Chain A
Amino acid sequence: MSFEYAPAPESRAVVDLKSSYGLFVDGEFVDGNGHAFKSVSPATEEVLAEISEATEDDVDKAVAAARRAYTRTWSTMPGAERAKYLYRIARIIQERSRELAVLESLDNGKPIRESRDVDIPLVAAYFFYYAGWADKLEYAMPGSAPRGSVPLPLGVAGQVIPWNFPLLMLSWKIAPALAAGNTVVLKPAETTSLTALLFAEICQQADLPPGVVNIVTGAGETGRALVGHPDVDKVAFTGSTEVGKAIGRTVAGTRKSVTLELGGKAANIVFDDAPIDQAVEGIVNGIFFNQGHVCCAGSRLLVQESVYDDVLARLKRRMASLRVGDPLDKNTDVGAINSSEQLSRIRDLSQVGEAEGAERWSPPCELPDRGFWFAPTIFTGVTQAHRIAREEIFGPVLSILTFRTPAEAVEKANNTPYGLSAGVWTDKGSRILWMASQLRAGVVWANTFNRFDPTSPFGGYKESGYGREGGRHGLEAYLAK
């Protein structure tokens, strides 16, 4: 007998979609002066809404509003008062969590199970966490400010975020900035603006003073205008290494401080004494979580040769049970690829993998006719010389390599221009500690993967960027040293 799960779609009724959205500047929604662009649902290619594009002039107004709010209210407000606003925002996010989760899945294509159980709860958690810091800033960086004085905010932060975790990345940017006393102008990614605009509504609902949070929508041009704006004191960017480098060049020689959280090609390392069943779950979670649209995804699996056959057989069996399809179905494990551009990039690199001689495998899996889809895929017979082992694919594609000794695992794991994260699977505590000290990656997970927590700093080595987000360290990026 076979157990077929009937469709279990989450209702869209909870989301009140408007046909068009403006920018959020100085506490009000206003029309942008650029060309409107469409936001589509990647699962169906349905047009969800029209979004205003912010021009240089619009960005200028937003920065001016942020400056006014910074000078007149937010920077001089006692930390305990700022905290109240942040707590209020966090509570509203919890209250409207279903609405936010459905909208996130509609606009981004990620499964509702993930937006409901991971993204939105974490968004609220980051706001709660940084709300707690707002009146304790003198303890955030001990010794940096004279005894008894509170470290100062930087001013206006220009923040640019990616499309993979739209609202979560917004919270990583806005919560610490506001807690520290900065005001912000944030640009969401052009394919996923909707939850940021709903967040703007939440700011209104929370009576946040006008200008403290401004949202400007648009693509690369809007981002460049924001990052290059002379009155921005701090630039924070999460996205591709290519754009990160361009931002680095733009702000070089200015007074702006910068944090960049860029790409990755993380090694997920499985030793022969690992808890194998849980390691297989960790491999799956490492690369197929969020369709692999994760900068810290475990996209290179390093397996000790002595358990390679076993791990591979288990991984394939497990992949065959992944449910790919409608992001709003509560039983979906893998959703849609965010855009047709990203889908072509994943296809191109997968073809390169085959052309370079790696063996490609996907479980039998039916993909919907419309929308942007890519089946969970693994490549075996991959070496460090393959492009699919070196370049970030940012999709549900795993490259599998092997190693013989711990030293070789470390060498291979570190042999990449990136260094955002790594995973280690072993039952031996001493080996975990040794590996963690050797791996050049900002986050090293032990016997787990892709776990996030507001109290834990997150950030990269090398071309994965600089600066840390999350935890006490995340405040440093928004306070004057």
Chain B
Amino acid sequence: MATPVLTSTDALRDAVSTPAALRRFLHGLPGVDQVGCEARVATLSSRSIKTTSKQWALDLAISMIDLTTLEGQDTLGKVRALCAKGRRPDPADPTCPPVAAICVYPDMVVTAKEGLDGSGVQVASVATAFPSGRATLDIKLQDTRAAVADGADEIDMVIDRGAFLSGSYQQVFDEIVAVKQACGRPGGDSAHLKVIMETGELATYDNVRRASWLSMLAGARFLKTPTGKVQPAATMPVTLLMLEAVRDFREATGRMVGVKPAGGISTAKDAIRYLVMVNETAGDDWLDPHWFRFGASRLLNDLLMQRTKMTTGRYSGPDYFTLD
């Protein structure tokens, strides 16, 4: 018997009462038909967004970007440059909105914080032994606390995919709860927690749906697709499943959870397709940088190029936009 989907708050409380109950709940979620899910994405992708809607969507997409650098070769200089870019993506056009956040490794948080001071752009830090998540819990928690202490506004944690795939859902759940606690600041508020599922490693759509619900039950503020380090990275079907999950979770609990596809979204056309999907799946309320983000680096310049084309009627070359 499938569990009714518009689950009541009571049912959700029961779901996290014991490891067996959690497992029953996750396995009771309705299955995902792969063909149907991908067909829905294909239909949504055929929407044609033109003129004023396109202009509006391009600006919205820019304001939703978590401009990211997560490389072993990252330097203070690189992060400072990225911050400048994030504050003012198009130096030639003051009407261009800033991005939502700069996403860096924990040791770069201080630099990013300085670089963004007073801009309203958030600092997001990956943590919990990103990207593999293969470290002991106390190290993951320390990683998180350090980033929060340095001033990170948002923490992008990775789940333990090994534990998830071996069916230890409770372990994954407990870890998310612990990291969420570690996000707390002395004042009582806390850094926003984004939970990265590394969907490419979860392999099936059923798993993506289960991991989404698991993360929301554990208190995630955002669901995030992959780390960007594993192929396939963000895909539209996976993001569709997350949007369905946050939509249904709000129906059940009244609580909104955000969604962040990351990796592999590099063109304005793709970004607009995602926004159409958000609009027609989760709805208007998610068309807001508080509730939907793009984890990307290359995407920004394509958005800027399209934006300039909309206002001038001409394409200028990539050299007219700053690298970072």
Determine how close the nearest CB of chain A comes to the CB of B254; give it in whole angstroms.
16
State which of B31, B40, B48, B244 has its C-beta within 8 Å of the C-beta of A8.
Answer: B48
Find the B residue at minimum CB distance from A276.
Answer: B30
Q: Are A6 and B287 in contact, with the CB atoms below 8 A? A: no
* A316-345 to B contact mask, C-beta < 8 Å, 1/0: 000001000000001100000000000000
Q: Does A313 contact B (CB under 8 A)?
A: yes
With A3-B56, A275-B30 as given contacts, are A8 and B49 in contact (CB-CB < 8 Å)? yes
Determine how close the nearest CB of chain A comes to the CB of B320; give it in whole angstroms.
27
Complex interface: chain B residues within 8 A of A356 (CB): none
Q: Are A3 and B53 in contact, with the CB atoms below 8 A? A: yes
A274 to B275, CA, bound (A): 28
Per the 8 Å Cβ criterion, residues 1-43 of A in contact with B are: 1-8
List the one stretch of A186-194, A261-269, A277-285 in contact with chain B.
Answer: A277-285
With A1-B284, A275-B32 as given contacts, are A117 and B6 in contact (CB-CB < 8 Å)? no
Q: Does B110 contact A (CB under 8 A)?
A: no
Q: Does A50 contact B (CB under 8 A)?
A: no
Q: Are B287 and A5 in contact, with the CB atoms below 8 A? A: no
Q: Are B36 and A275 in contact, with the CB atoms below 8 A? A: yes
Most buried by B among A5, A309, A313: A5
Per the 8 Å Cβ criterion, residues 261-309 of A in contact with B are: 272-279, 281-282, 306-307, 309
Complex interface: chain B residues within 8 A of A366 (CB): none
Find the A residue at minimum CB distance from B49.
Answer: A5
Complex interface: chain B residues within 8 A of A307 (CB): 2, 4
Q: Does B312 contact A (CB under 8 A)?
A: no
* B32-56 to A contact mask, C-beta < 8 Å, 1/0: 1101110110010011111111101
Q: Are A281 and B4 in contact, with the CB atoms below 8 A? A: no
Q: Are A274 and B279 in contact, with the CB atoms below 8 A? A: no
Per the 8 Å Cβ criterion, residues 74-126 of A in contact with B are: 113, 117
Complex interface: chain B residues within 8 A of A447 (CB): 33, 35-36
Q: Are A306 and B1 in contact, with the CB atoms below 8 A? A: yes
Q: Does B174 contact A (CB under 8 A)?
A: no
With A281-B39, A447-B35, A448-B36 as given contacts, are A310 and B284 in contact (CB-CB < 8 Å)? no
A330 to B50, CA, bound (A): 11
Q: Does A427 contact B (CB under 8 A)?
A: yes
Most buried by B among A1, A275, A282, A447: A275
Q: Are B48 and A281 in contact, with the CB atoms below 8 A? A: no
Q: Does B280 contact A (CB under 8 A)?
A: yes
Most buried by A among B5, B32, B33, B287: B33
Q: Are B50 and A272 in contact, with the CB atoms below 8 A? A: no
Find the B residue at minimum CB distance from A426.
Answer: B31
* A407-423 to B contact mask, C-beta < 8 Å, 1/0: 00000000000000000
Determine how close the nearest CB of chain B comes to the CB of A384; give it in whole angstroms.
26
Q: Does B276 contact A (CB under 8 A)?
A: yes
Q: Does B57 contact A (CB under 8 A)?
A: yes
Q: Are A1 and B60 in contact, with the CB atoms below 8 A? A: yes
Q: Are A5 and B47 in contact, with the CB atoms below 8 A? A: yes
Q: Are B284 and A277 in contact, with the CB atoms below 8 A? A: no
A309 to B275, CA, bound (A): 29
Per the 8 Å Cβ criterion, residues 249-268 of A in contact with B are: none
Determine how close the nearest CB of chain B comes to the CB of A400; give it in whole angstroms.
17
A2 to B37, CA, bound (A): 25
A277 to B206, CA, bound (A): 12
Q: Does B288 contact A (CB under 8 A)?
A: yes
Complex interface: chain A residues within 8 A of B54 (CB): 6
Q: Are B50 and A277 in contact, with the CB atoms below 8 A? A: no
Per the 8 Å Cβ criterion, residues 84-131 of B in contact with A are: none
A44 to B35, CA, bound (A): 36
Q: Are A277 and B287 in contact, with the CB atoms below 8 A? A: no
Find the B residue at minimum CB distance from A447.
Answer: B33
Count of interface residues, chain A, beta-carbon cutoff 8 Å: 32
Find the B residue at minimum CB distance from A449.
Answer: B36
Determine how close the nearest CB of chain B comes to the CB of A290; give it in whole angstroms.
14
State which of A6, A279, A309, A330 has its C-beta within 8 Å of the C-beta of B53.
Answer: A6
A113 to B47, CA, bound (A): 9
Per the 8 Å Cβ criterion, residues 145-185 of A in contact with B are: none
* B203-240 to A contact mask, C-beta < 8 Å, 1/0: 00000000000000000000000000000000000000
A310 to B47, CA, bound (A): 28
A277 to B36, CA, bound (A): 9
Find the A residue at minimum CB distance from B288.
Answer: A1
A331 to B39, CA, bound (A): 16
Complex interface: chain B residues within 8 A of A278 (CB): 32-33, 36-37, 40
Complex interface: chain A residues within 8 A of B32 (CB): 275, 277-278
* B167-202 to A contact mask, C-beta < 8 Å, 1/0: 000000000000000000000000000000000000
Most buried by A among B1, B30, B35: B30
A458 to B303, CA, bound (A): 47
Q: Are A281 and B46 in contact, with the CB atoms below 8 A? A: no
A330 to B43, CA, bound (A): 11
State which of A7, A113, A274 has its C-beta within 8 Å of the C-beta of B46.
Answer: A113
Q: Are B50 and A8 in contact, with the CB atoms below 8 A? A: yes
A33 to B244, CA, bound (A): 59
State which of B2, B40, B47, B288 has its C-beta within 8 Å of the C-beta of A272.
Answer: B2
A3 to B55, CA, bound (A): 11
Most buried by A among B51, B279, B284, B288: B279
Complex interface: chain B residues within 8 A of A2 (CB): 284, 287
Determine how close the nearest CB of chain B comes to the CB of A376; give it in whole angstroms.
15
Determine how close the nearest CB of chain A comes to the CB of B97; give it in whole angstroms.
13
Per the 8 Å Cβ criterion, residues 279-308 of B in contact with A are: 279-280, 284, 287-288
Q: Are A313 and B33 in contact, with the CB atoms below 8 A? A: no
Find the B residue at minimum CB distance from A313.
Answer: B6
A276 to B29, CA, bound (A): 10
Q: Are B51 and A277 in contact, with the CB atoms below 8 A? A: no
With A8-B50, A307-B4 as given contacts, are A3 and B36 in contact (CB-CB < 8 Å)? no
Complex interface: chain B residues within 8 A of A1 (CB): 60, 284, 287-288
Q: Are A5 and B36 in contact, with the CB atoms below 8 A? A: no
Complex interface: chain A residues within 8 A of B284 (CB): 1-3
A447 to B37, CA, bound (A): 11
A331 to B50, CA, bound (A): 11
Q: Are B46 and A330 in contact, with the CB atoms below 8 A? A: yes
Find the B residue at minimum CB distance from A10.
Answer: B48
Those 10 A-B pairs whose CB atoms lie nearest each other, nearest first: A278-B36, A8-B48, A330-B48, A275-B33, A278-B33, A276-B30, A3-B279, A6-B53, A427-B31, A6-B51
List 20 extra interface pairs beyond A3-B53, A6-B49, A113-B46, CB under 8 A: A1-B288, A2-B287, A3-B275, A3-B279, A3-B287, A6-B54, A117-B46, A272-B1, A273-B31, A274-B30, A275-B31, A275-B37, A276-B5, A276-B30, A307-B2, A307-B4, A309-B4, A313-B6, A331-B47, A447-B36
Q: Taking beta carbons and an 8 Å cutoff, which residues of A are in contact with B?
A: 1-8, 113, 117, 272-279, 281-282, 306-307, 309-310, 313-314, 321, 330-331, 427, 447-448
Q: Taking beta carbons and an 8 Å cutoff, which residues of B are in contact with A?
A: 1-2, 4-6, 30-33, 35-37, 39-40, 43, 46-54, 56-57, 60, 244, 275-276, 279-280, 284, 287-288
- Listed A/B pairs (12) with beta-carbon separation below 8 Å: A1-B60, A3-B276, A4-B53, A5-B53, A113-B43, A117-B46, A274-B30, A275-B30, A278-B32, A278-B40, A282-B36, A321-B280
